[in-house]
Structure 1
């Protein structure tokens, strides 16, 4: 969520004539992230996030925005897109599609404990089940076909050891994706990028009433309440196990070594399964999916590192982090965090 496209006061005021949100009280850029230009927007009607889409086209946006509306309507705490006065979910701002969504309560929990991981696991399963009757469909655009396209581009830019790891893991994932077991795994709309900085927690009553209408979870142990999931602009229809693996790889990892934290991983998977139990095939292929999740982000971070884009506020991610995670998942003696 860097700022690639700057918006001045006059441009913002003109664009907001399409909304009934009242006078602007505050407007500022959000520094984190690498895909879209994002801004906090406070008006007389409330707090929002304005997003200008740098890569996604107007034809691609209905999937993401309608998915958020669908999940919000099913009591999953996510940003809810605000309708323009013409009834549309987005419009043109400085020649690019842009939207406004409601702002969730809380802040990212960047040092999660087992409780935070359990809260995320349970809500992730609820999100998966809530998406079963979503009418739109779009594949995960950063899955196998994208890896096959991008790996040849970055292969000449890495050292020999990294090149071997890239090619070996791509071959492993190609075989896994072609298997009958993979085809039979359950799936549907997935977040596909549910990292620590895409989830908010608020302390105590700051997160809301938690009465069921908001879809919030509570904690007597830490006082933290799940404020919600956001940044759905990598979402797509994929295997639910992949979404869980991506989430575990970020929330339940030792940042220095890339190794899984068994307690946090166990709690996340246990909480997930309290809502949606994993099948035998999902348990068998847990390590394959942990590897797939690590590979997806190693490839994307290598690509962003070697082919950077200019931005006013850009904090690139270190690709070595997911290289360490992938190496650990390949060498793990047994699937960690599975129910088996």
Structure 2
């Protein structure tokens, strides 16, 4: 189970006592996390998720709290931080920053269809529209600079087609750093995978895990989502799902000509980002029990597939 910091019941009872939620009924660690420790917490006052933040800069957490509040006010179903009796939303537990958030309804979709993908695209456009003209901002600690540095290191260990793809992307990153492509920017979820979205039937009932949220190109966020939601069982993009997700997004925030030009490279960049993070995690946690390490080769294969892109962005006529 991916709980890096275990909790004893007495420790959690003391923590919950600071809230107006009644007594602790039950709790359990959540399997599947790769970065933070998460627990389902049942209290007399409702169902919640407790997160102990294991990675990243604690100074960025006020941004997270403010972002979730902004999205909740915009009508998006998100797990806002619950305040304790003194009005505090950020806490400490077992030496880790801690957030208690409502547990949203719905479940994860393992095999999405086009309607799920359309809903994800629409939700993502709403996120970008809600944050693009606000003062909310946070640098992406795994952004272009990080990817460029890490890709150079990994390139020394690779050969063949993957090495060629990495070299091409490095050249693209250098070009974008020298000459900004002029893509629209907002706050990104930056991790909108299937396990971070909840559906009640075909209704998108909530989005969770904003710990990677940061400022960046909206198109990059779209590419991250497409690279997960639109993959078929064979690991290739399903054109019908891609078109549905892009149409759901474009109905609320039309794509620009500059975005259409950058789309193929952005799909590759999104695959690179998660190949790098998984590869680094696989090396760091090799041989350690109880830590979920996701397969980095999944995104290595996707990166190579993206050298040819069949579905472009829809543009308004």
Q: TM-score, normalised by structure 1?
A: 0.87
Unmatched segments (≥5 aa) in structure 2: none
* Distance in 2 separating the partners of 1:13 and 1:173: 49
Question: How far 1:146 sits from its partner (Å)?
Answer: 1.1
Say if 1:311 and 1:43 are closer, same or farther in 2 by CA, change over 3 A.
farther
Partner of 2:247: 270
Bigger RCO (CA 8 Å, 6+ sep): 1
Question: How far 1:152 sits from its partner (Å)?
Answer: 4.4
1:1-340 to 2 correspondences below 5 Å: 2-158=2-158, 162-180=162-180, 182=181, 184-203=182-201, 224-257=202-235, 259-308=236-285, 313-332=290-309, 334=310, 336-340=311-315
Question: How far 1:32 sits from its partner (Å)?
Answer: 0.7
Partner of 1:215: none
Question: How far 1:150 sits from its partner (Å)?
Answer: 2.4
Question: How far 1:284 sits from its partner (Å)?
Answer: 1.4
Secondary structure at 1:330 match in 2 = coil
| Residues 224-274 of structure 1, C-alpha deviations (whole Å, 9 max, x = no match) | 2111111000110011111011101110112433x2111000011011111
Is the 2:227–2:271 Cα contact (8 Å) retained in structure 1? yes
Secondary structure at 2:306 match in 1 = helix
Question: How far 1:153 sits from its partner (Å)?
Answer: 4.4
| Residues 176-202 of structure 1, C-alpha deviations (whole Å, 9 max, x = no match) | 34334x2x2111111000001100001
Question: How far 1:17 sits from its partner (Å)?
Answer: 2.5
Secondary structure at 1:285 match in 2 = helix
Unmatched segments (≥5 aa) in structure 1: 204-223
Question: How far 1:127 sits from its partner (Å)?
Answer: 1.2
| Residues 302-329 of structure 1, C-alpha deviations (whole Å, 9 max, x = no match) | 1111122787743211111111111111
Root mean square deviation, CA, Å = 1.9
* Distance in 2 separating the partners of 1:12 and 1:30: 15
Aligned residues: 315
| Residues 55-83 of structure 1, C-alpha deviations (whole Å, 9 max, x = no match) | 13331211112111110111011111101
* Distance in 2 separating the partners of 1:294 and 1:10: 42
Say if 1:170 and 1:33 are closer, same or farther in 2 by CA, change over 3 A.
farther
* Distance in 2 separating the partners of 1:254 and 1:174: 32
Is the 1:52–1:96 Cα contact (8 Å) retained in structure 2? yes
Is the 1:4–1:312 Cα contact (8 Å) retained in structure 2? no
